[in-house]
């Protein structure tokens, strides 16, 4: 793994954890407290289950969105790196077709390109989380 690739994954993990602790974890706490209230005075099992499901809805949505966005970004990076690798393999097999081309820097370029996308992706997550939290607080 190259330096740029390591920085990409490190920043993705660091920024992802920051988002998780800032938005998902506090909602998870609220979800647990809400669920506990559902169990404090159960009317019947179905009502309790529905109450708990309602308590979990927002945190489950935030967690799902968070995981999907980070996986999507990492997956797009990996596809970029795979394209570099396949073009590099083609260049090795057909040196006359790809004269004097340096494909060794291609995956580093991908990592640097996607490294710049990490803060944008996290900010997009934050904006979406703020919107969903505001919508949820207005509906309560």
> Buried b vs exposed e over 55-84: b needs ≥16 C-beta within 10 Å?
bbebbeebbebbeebbeebbeebeebbeeb
pTM score: 0.76
Instruction: Report the pLDDT averaged over residues 15-42.
Output: 92
DSSP state of 99: T
pLDDT one-digit tens code per residue, 35-79? 999 988 767 888 989 999 999 999 999 999 999 999 999 999 999
Q: Check: CB of residue 38 under 8 Å from CB of residue 51.
A: yes
Residue 108 predicted with pLDDT over 90 = no
Domain definitions of the chain by residue range: 3-133
Is residue 127 classed as helix, strand or coil in its secondary structure? Answer: helix
């Amino acid at each position: 793994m190259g330096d740029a690739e390591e920085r990409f994954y490190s920043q993705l993990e660091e920024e992802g954890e920051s988002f998780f602790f800032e938005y998902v974890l506090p909602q998870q706490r609220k979800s647990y407290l809400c669920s506990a209230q559902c169990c404090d005075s159960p009317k019947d099992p179905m009502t309790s289950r529905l109450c708990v499901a309602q308590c979990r809805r927002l945190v489950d949505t935030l967690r799902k969105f968070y995981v999907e966005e980070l996986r999507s970004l990492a997956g797009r990076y990996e596809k970029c790196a795979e394209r570099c690798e396949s073009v590099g393999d083609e260049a090795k097999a057909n040196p006359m077709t790809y004269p004097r081309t340096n494909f060794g820097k291609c995956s580093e370029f991908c990592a640097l390109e996607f490294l710049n996308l990490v803060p944008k992706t996290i900010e997009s997550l934050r904006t979406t989380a703020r919107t969903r939290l505001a919508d949820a607080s207005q509906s309560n």
